[in-house]
Amino acid sequence: MEQNNLRNIAIIAHVDHGKTTLVDQMLKQSGAFRDNQQVAERVMDSGDIERERGITILAKNAATYYNGVKINIVDTPGHADFGGEVERVLKMVNGVLLLVDAAEGCMPQTRFVLQKALQQNLSLVIAVNKIDRPDARIKEVIDEILLLLMDLGATDEQLDSPMVFCSGRDGTASYSPDVPGKDLEPLFKTILEYVKPPVGDPTAPFSMLCSSIDYNEFVGRIGIGRVENGTIKVGQDVAVCDWHDKDLAKRGRITALYSFEANGRTPIQEAAAGDIVAFSGLTDINIGNTLCTPTLVQPLPFVKINDPTVEMTFAVNDSPFAGREGKFVTSRQIRDRLHKELLKDVALKVEDSATTESFRVMGRGEMHLSILIETMRREGYELQVSPPKVLTHEEDGKVMEPMEHVVIDVPVDYQGSVMQKLGARKGELVQMAPLGTDRMRVEFRIPSRGLFGYRSEFLTDTHGEGILNTIFDGYDEWKGELPTRSTGSLVSFETGVAVTYGLFNAQQRGTLIVEPGEKVYEGMVIGYSPAGDDMSVNVCKTKHLTNTRASGSDDALRLVPVSKFSLEESLEFLKPDELLEVTPKSIRIRKRILNHEMRMKAIKGGKANA
């Protein structure tokens, strides 16, 4: 039975192709907000980090109405590290709106999300977005989309999918790239016409798949999913089972039910087949669990989420400055926070390590884990983390490691440098094609660990003009040793306060990352040197005062401006024998072994990285 008054769609695209901005305009133009209501830009990106970085981290649900039809919209992340979010939310919808940037065209994540949508035989509406860009190449991008659909084995019906041309920022859409749009009406009409309404029988026994999880301090775990059959009511008893875990058999009661309206939730008493709702009352509900009538327990099929590819060790901060800036510093507090994150992040895994002071944290990529670290430090946690490592496994006696498909858009002048660097990191050239007259698109297949530490180097090599995109591309046999960071670390020789005189002498050895007046400790990294070896420097050293030298003569010393590292840059910078100390106020790079003499002995004995 079709529910013609409903449409469930997910907006999918590569990172930064304008999904969230377009959802903003869809909500505004459908009357979701009052005329005088103050609405932030990218209203769906509710997290501080999402707003700052301009990326969507967690899938968000919204709903709008057009011509009496409710359209449930799921805004999905575009970054490869959050692909787990995309995979599972597609289970809730009947169609997808594929956004493609009119200048960048089809990118790695476009292929990934489109492949997932085609596999589930979802209705497809294609939107070429950002047609107002001066460098837009609309006709070429249309060809790219059709080639990608054929490459992914799309059916004739999917190849005939409708195409609209949008400017998400201006809130306009049109059926032709040559005719300017006035509003988003063509997009709404296309969605209603081509996206299949959900099918379900409201009179059949109740069943529902939990496709997403939210967490609330007051309510606990909140499940989100689409009602497949029957109706769900507040106070209803349900059985919980799982397609991949035949032993799971639990009972529970729905204590609250919410419908999505605009970008918020509204409490409701019941919902029927086809609608996407949030529910609470089941404290240990997991993604992939099926809720059903206790008299007919039958799990719904669910695709297993891909395993993590990268791991880091999160440990209690044991530096000389430990406990000065953080509110939560003990191993129990860190452990509780990591396990709380597991409640809503399905792609994350946490395991205890050999010591009680540290934990193995595994995720989809560097960005996935760095956002968790950034979130924890903002909440007042203090910890130290190890450099990222790839997770390997054995197949037929061979060690297999994760691979990445890398797509790089780069000015022709810098192309040689990029290809040389990726070649040295065991990258294999897959494809090369010109983009206009002065840019090239270069595609590589490279071990995931070959990209550790490369992004900042890439921006330097391309003078900030290069665009680098990656996506997980299966496993391959271990490729052998890779070159690590070429620069050596400048390491503080003693604990104290960095002074101008000491820093002036140290800057002749390399580039500094600390300023005068900063507190440093023995074993802390205060800069890096072009020479490959580490050097110990004394930045706390002051000039001896004599009859002829006054302390004020330090003013004449000129220091080169300091290059401060962000959290991601610090993680990329780490050598195997270094750790990153993260507190709410500071990010410090340090050696695992702080004492100079003990470190030298460990290096001679080959134990510095342990």
For 204-251, write each residue's pLDDT tens digit.
899 998 888 777 777 778 888 889 988 999 999 999 998 888 888 888
Q: What is the pLDDT of residue 50?
A: 42
Average pLDDT, the chain: 83
Q: Pseudo-torsion of CA 268, 273, 275, 276, nearest 10°? A: 90
Rounded to an integer, what distance in angstroms lies between the CA atom of residue 350 and that of residue 363? 9
**Confidence check: pLDDT of 534 > 60:** yes
Please state whether beta strands 289-292 and 276-280 pair in parallel, antiparallel, or not at all (unpaired): unpaired
Q: In the numeric block, which tokens belong to residue 11?
A: 């907006």
Assess whether pLDDT exceeds 60 at residue 42. Answer: no
According to the model, what pLDDT value does residue 344 have? 73
Q: Who has greater pLDDT, 39 or 293?
A: 293
HSE at residue 114, side-chain half, CA atoms within 13 A, is 29
pLDDT at residue 544, rounded to an integer: 66
Q: How many CB atoms are located within 10 Å of the residue 294 CB?
A: 14
pLDDT tens per residue, range 104-152: 888 777 887 888 788 888 889 999 998 888 888 889 999 999 998 998 8
**pLDDT value at residue 37:** 43
- Predicted confidence at residue 51, as pLDDT, reads 44
Q: At what angle do helices 138-151 and 108-119 cross, to 10 degrees?
A: 50
Q: pLDDT grade, residue 75 (50/70/90)?
A: confident
Grade residue 445 by pLDDT with cuts at 50, 70 and 90.
very high
Q: How confident is the model at residue 46 (pLDDT cuts 50, 70, 90)?
A: very low
Tokens read off for 509: 């050895």
For position 457, what pLDDT does the model report?
Answer: 82
Q: What is the mean pLDDT of residues 301-320?
A: 86
pLDDT surpasses 60 at 79: no
Residue set of the binding site: 16-21, 129-132
pLDDT (mean) for 61-65: 82
**How do 358-363 and 389-390 pair as beta strands?**
unpaired
pLDDT band at 505 (very low <50, low <70, confident <90, very high): confident
* pLDDT value of residue 331: 93
Task: Spell out the domains of the chain, with CATH numbers in brackets.
Answer: 6-194 (3.40.50.300), 207-292 (2.40.30.10), 393-477 (3.30.70.240)
Q: Write down the pLDDT at residue 552.
A: 55
User: What mean pLDDT do residues 142-165 have?
Assistant: 89
At 400, which helix (H) or strand (E)? strand 398-411
**For the purposes of burial, counting CB atoms within 10 Å of the CB of 402, is it exposed (0-12), middle (13-18) or buried (19 or more)?**
buried
- What is d(CA 357, CA 353) in angstroms, rounded to the nearest whole number? 8
Per DSSP (E only), the strands in 262-308 are 264-267, 270-272, 276-280, 289-292
pLDDT at 58 over 50: no
- Given a cut of 80, whether residue 100 has pLDDT beyond it is yes
Q: Give the residue-averaged pLDDT of 75-104.
A: 74
Identify the band that residue 551 occupies on the pLDDT scale cut at 50, 70 and 90.
low
**What per-residue confidence (pLDDT) applies to 55?**
47
Average pLDDT over residues 571-590: 91
Is 600's pLDDT higher than 50? yes
Bind-site residues for GTP: 16-21, 129-132
